[in-house]
Structure 1
């Protein structure tokens, strides 16, 4: 039987192993996990899947609430679920990006599990729904949606890029926002915008860099890093190629 609970993980690092497979998701705050040499953060955006019997290290980053589900290794422990292949999720450690639909499901789970008289049956079913949703995204072939990206999709994508300008923005992360595979996302995005995802991210980086050059006195190297460029030289090269002007020229108002 799947057991679902909420725990606060201590900031002091600990290591243990248990026979059950385990899913860990951050409802609030963040925690660090390491399983079989793979490390990653667990938060509202990322979950960790721990295979049963594997030792794993973990520590919370300050105040946190983690949703933890234990899944029996034996198939008999999954009796009552429609699909006993859920164990495929745990064939190896996984750090999983959670799309906006899964986060909505987590909001409901968080609310339900925090009720004073939370129903064990409801908790059992919540665990199954979350695991099945992950299984659909990770193990089964992605079902491509036939329609184009709409205005809400593009707005969500732009918001994500702008919030993560300082970081690497992967096509996989953008595809997860609209629940399609990376390869299908590339085609859908190009059809909707007339450019590739890489070109669009670069345009947004340059747009923000141009704004900061005009409106602030930030050093160009610091500004480049804030906009996701690896160096001042990388910003200079991209700006000359795309806009025909250097950062210095733009700052001095010589863009015509």
Structure 2
């Protein structure tokens, strides 16, 4: 169900650097140009047909050196937590283009039904739709493997390949079994390791380097937001 405060819009981004966070989900879908994002200390590139779900409270920096246009959804719907680790399929572009045009033309039905349609298009079919038994995930072993990667955090696709699942399947399993997105699980795992390194006496700069954060301040901000 669409949250009452869901708002669809089309936004143009320029070369001016911006940085903020929200108390709601923000969904960005690229329509034209390239928007450079940094979310939680990790870079993201949103070109035409690409998408990103920014969770509540996650500070993100952004700029588009040559200009970019995005469909933007500000949403209170908690179901978007399931989409954080997913890449929208190519077919989503047609829907996003229609919704962008509907926003420009101020069509009320687009604002009413667009957010739920976008979520449905973004998410892959649930595991249960295939009728196949679920593969067991050894989360402790996966955590040890992920942390052994040193300063280079594995991607969701690499984590999924490690347990012989697709990225979409792993994201669904992580949400069901761990209660969070794959990226959130990995981020909290690495921040817990960073805390352990600090307790061992390593400097903040060294811990940031080992943890894959761009700067000590980025690591400190991430720990402050999560309380880890």
- The two structures have a TM-score, normalised by structure 2, of 0.51
Could you say if the C-alpha distance between residues 183 and 109 of structure 1 is closer, same or farther in structure 2, counting changes exceeding 3 Å?
closer
Q: Distance in 2 between matches of 1:142 and 1:103?
A: 26
Could you say if the C-alpha distance between residues 87 and 98 of structure 1 is closer, same or farther in structure 2, counting changes exceeding 3 Å?
closer
Could you say if the C-alpha distance between residues 51 and 113 of structure 1 is closer, same or farther in structure 2, counting changes exceeding 3 Å?
same
Kindly provide the CA deviation profile for residues 18-77 of structure 1, in whole angstroms up to 9, marking residues without a partner as x. 1111100111111011111221111223211101111111111313211110111xxxxx
Task: Determine whether 1:59 maps to 2:63.
Answer: yes
Is the radius of gyration larger for structure 1 or structure 2? 1
Aligned to 2:127: 141
Which of 31, 35, 38 is 1:31 aligned to?
35
Task: Determine whether 1:130 maps to 2:134.
Answer: no
Aligned to 1:89: 82
Kindly provide the CA deviation profile for residues 113-152 of structure 1, in whole angstroms up to 9, marking residues without a partner as x. 222xx12342231121101222x328x32845xxxxxxxx
- How much is the aligned-residue C-alpha RMSD, in angstroms? 3.2
Which blocks of at least 5 consecutive residues in structure 2 are unaligned?
131-156, 158-165, 170-228
Q: Distance in 1 between matches of 2:44 and 2:69?
A: 17
What does 1:1-256 align with in structure 2 at a 5 Å threshold? 1-72=5-76, 78=77, 86-89=79-82, 94=85, 96-115=86-105, 118-134=106-122, 136-137=123-124, 140-141=126-127, 143=129
Which blocks of at least 5 consecutive residues in structure 1 are unaligned?
73-77, 79-84, 145-171, 173-180, 185-256
Q: More relative contact order in 1 or in 2 (CA 8 Å, sep 6+)?
A: 2
**C-alpha deviation, 1:104, in angstroms:** 1.6
- For this pair of structures, how many residues does the alignment match? 135
Q: Distance in 2 between matches of 1:39 and 1:62?
A: 18
